[in-house]
Structure formats: structure tokens, C-alpha cells
Amino acid sequence: MALDFESSNYFRPDNEVHQDPYPFYEWLRAHGPVWQHPRGVVFVTGYDEAIAIYHDPQTWSNCNTNAGTLVKKSVQQNGEDN
């Protein structure tokens, strides 16, 4: 039985996607190099697009969490990365 990737909660560690992620990756790539999921998460699967994002910190956050920047950080940040 194929998973419904559109409604699957892929952030949960017990999600079946984590057992075999390759069909999920293929499904993501079929949506294009940059795709915003209806839940709001933006997925970047294109190499050139990812490199452009990594080199543009003024536009894109480097916050690596599904909670975004709204969650209080456990460690005080100093400098420009606050």
C-alpha cells in the first residue's frame, strides 16, 4: 500500500517515510525544485536552488527546525544570527 505523502506527517519519527524515504523523495522532486506544501513547509530538492538559498541569508533563514524561529532557543545566541 502506497503512503499518502500529501497528508502524511513526515516530521514524526515513527512515520513510515523514515523506513524507506526514497519514494517520498521522488514524490517531492516531481513537484519541482522548490515546492511549498499546503501546510506551509517549503521543500528544496534542486541543487542550484539549494545553493542559491544557502548563499542568500538575507532572504532565507538558517533555522533548521519545523517549529521555525518562533520557539525560544535553549542557548542564548550572539551576533547576527539571533
Q: pLDDT digits over 48-79, tens only?
A: 999 999 899 888 876 666 665 566 656 666 66
In degrees rounded to 5, what are phi and psi of residue 9? -95, 90
Mean pLDDT, all residues of the chain: 79
Q: Is the pLDDT at 2 greater than 80, yes or no?
A: no
Residue among 32, 58, 30 nearest 44 (CA): 32
Angle, CA of 79, 80 and 82, to the nearest 5°: 85
Question: Domains of the chain, with CATH numbers?
Answer: 16-81 (3.30.43)
Structural contact between residues 44 and 34, judged by C-beta atoms closer than 8 angstroms: yes
Residue 12 confidence (pLDDT)? 76
Which pTM value belongs to this model? 0.64
Residue among 31, 57, 54, 51 nearest 43 (CA): 31
Residue 28 confidence (pLDDT)? 92
Q: What percent of the chain has pLDDT over 90?
A: 30
